[in-house]
């Protein structure tokens, strides 16, 4: 398979589902989207979660937890699609709604945020830009964050309290 393709995402999702012990079988699907690839609106994460939901509904009695869906999607995107990514986009889609996420442990901690957004509209504007060729820049972000954490003697930035962090850079 070729990295950076929809096929790679599907293969990654299947492998992720297998890794988590879920059932997989074949199916036919016709999927169409007008969301531009690389537009920065989580199109790859949306596609990953769509494929997971199909497997979840058809073969797994809708038992896959949102946190597992997010981790399977992240696995697919980083290991098969070839784009380093965190869990934020995948978690936002898997959990739905407006949430506060804490990724400081192995488990995703989610706090639902009450809201009344019934009077708002979401408008996407095609700016003609793309972040599809920015993989190296995305990869450098966590590397830089780990370097900063290491300068404080920690593995991850979430292990450093805000006061210590701010005092360290005065």
Catalytic sites, residue numbers: 89
Kindly write down the DSSP assignment for every residue of 13-68, as one continuous string.
HHHHHHHTT-------------SPTTSSS-HHHHHHHHHHHHHHHHHSTT---HHH
Q: Give the three-state DSSP class for 27.
A: coil
Angle, vertex CA 88, rays to CA 87 and CA 91, nearest 5: 80
Q: Largest Cα–Cα distance of the chain, in whole Å?
A: 58
CA 78 – CA 55 distance, rounded (Å): 20
Residue corresponding to tokens 């988590």: 20
Residue 110, SS3 per DSSP: strand
């Amino acid at each position: 398979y070729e990295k950076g393709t929809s096929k790679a995402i599907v293969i990654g999702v299947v492998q992720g589902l297998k890794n988590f012990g879920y059932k997989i079988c074949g199916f036919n699907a016709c999927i169409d989207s007008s969301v531009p690839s690389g537009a920065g609106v989580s199109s790859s994460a949306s596609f990953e979660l769509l494929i997971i939901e199909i497997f979840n509904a058809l073969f797994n009695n809708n038992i896959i937890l949102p946190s597992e869906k997010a981790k399977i999607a992240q696995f697919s995107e980083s290991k098969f699609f070839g784009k380093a990514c965190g869990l934020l986009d995948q978690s936002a889609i898997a959990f739905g709604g407006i949430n506060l996420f804490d990724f400081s442990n192995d488990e995703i901690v989610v706090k639902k945020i009450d809201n009344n957004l019934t009077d708002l509209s979401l408008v996407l504007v095609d700016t003609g830009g793309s972040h599809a060729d920015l993989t190296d820049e995305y990869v450098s972000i966590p590397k830089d964050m780990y370097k900063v954490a290491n300068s404080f003697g920690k593995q991850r930035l979430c292990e450093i309290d805000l006061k210590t962090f701010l005092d360290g850079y005065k």
